[in-house]
A = this chain, B = another copy of it.
Amino acid sequence: MAAAPVWSVDPRSGKRREQVAVEATDREVDAAVRAAHDARGALADRTVRAAFLRTAADRLEAARDKLVEAADAESALGPARLTGELARTCYQLRAFADLVDEGAFLDVIIDHPDATATPPVPDLRRCKVPLGVVAVYAASNFPFAFSVAGGDTASALAAGCPAVVKAHPGHPALSELVAGELRGAAAEQGLPEGVLGLVHGFAAGTALIGHPLVAAAGFTGSVRGGRALFDAAAARPVPIPFHGELGSLNPVLVTEAAAAERAADIGAGLAGSMTLGTGQFCVKPGLVLVPAGPAGDRLAQSLTDAVAATGPGVLLDHRMREAFLAGVAARAALPGVRAPLRAGADGEHAVTAGFLTVPAARLTGAGAHDLLLEECFGPVTVVARYQGEDEATAVLARLPGSLTATVHLSAAEAADGGRGAALLAALTPLAGRVLVDAWPTGVAVAPAQHHGGPYPATTSTSTSVGGTAVERWLRPVAYQNVPQALLPPELRDDNPLGLPRRLDGRLEH
A213 to B: closest C-beta gap in Å: 12
The verdict on A447 contacting chain B, using a C-beta distance below 8 Å, is: yes
A304 to B: closest C-beta gap in Å: 26
B444 with A461: CB separation less than 8 A: no
The verdict on A14 contacting chain B, using a C-beta distance below 8 Å, is: no
Whether A110 contacts B448 in the complex (CB less than 8 A), given A241-B460, A420-B483, comes out as yes
A107 to B: closest C-beta gap in Å: 8
B231 with A434: CB separation less than 8 A: no
Task: Give every chain B residue within 8 A of A483 (Cβ-Cβ).
Answer: 414-415, 420, 436
A111 with B448: CB separation less than 8 A: yes
A477 with B431: CB separation less than 8 A: yes
Q: How far is the CA of A234 from the CA of B239 in the complex (A)?
A: 10
B420 with A485: CB separation less than 8 A: yes
Within 8 A of B (CB), among A69-93: 84, 87-88, 90-91
Stretch touching chain B among A119-127, A160-168, A264-272, A377-385: A119-127
Whether A461 contacts B476 in the complex (CB less than 8 A), given A118-B88, A485-B414, comes out as yes
> Which residue of chain B is the closest to A463 with respect to CB atoms?
B476
Stretch touching chain B among A198-206, A363-371, A499-507: A499-507
Partner of A111, one of B90, B446, B480: B446
> Which residue of chain B is the closest to A420 with respect to CB atoms?
B486
The verdict on A329 contacting chain B, using a C-beta distance below 8 Å, is: no
B505 with A500: CB separation less than 8 A: no
A434 with B486: CB separation less than 8 A: no
Task: Give every chain B residue within 8 A of A505 (Cβ-Cβ).
Answer: 447
Task: Give every chain B residue within 8 A of A438 (Cβ-Cβ).
Answer: 122, 480-481
Task: Give every chain B residue within 8 A of A466 (Cβ-Cβ).
Answer: 478
B230 with A477: CB separation less than 8 A: no
Q: How far is the CA of A404 from the CA of B88 in the complex (A)?
A: 42
The verdict on A421 contacting chain B, using a C-beta distance below 8 Å, is: yes
B424 with A479: CB separation less than 8 A: yes
Q: How far is the CA of A387 from the CA of B122 in the complex (A)?
A: 33
> Which residue of chain B is the closest to A504 with respect to CB atoms?
B447
B87 with A121: CB separation less than 8 A: no
The verdict on A28 contacting chain B, using a C-beta distance below 8 Å, is: no
The verdict on A287 contacting chain B, using a C-beta distance below 8 Å, is: no
The verdict on A137 contacting chain B, using a C-beta distance below 8 Å, is: no
Q: How far is the CA of A301 from the CA of B450 in the complex (A)?
A: 58
B478 with A450: CB separation less than 8 A: yes
Partner of A414, one of B120, B434, B475, B486: B486
- A-side residues, CB < 8 A to B, are 84, 87-88, 90-91, 104, 107, 109-111, 114, 117-122, 124-126, 129, 131, 230-231, 234-235, 238-239, 241, 401, 414-417, 420-421, 424, 428, 431-438, 442, 444-450, 452, 454-456, 459-461, 463, 466, 468, 474-483, 485-486, 488, 500, 502, 505, 507, 509
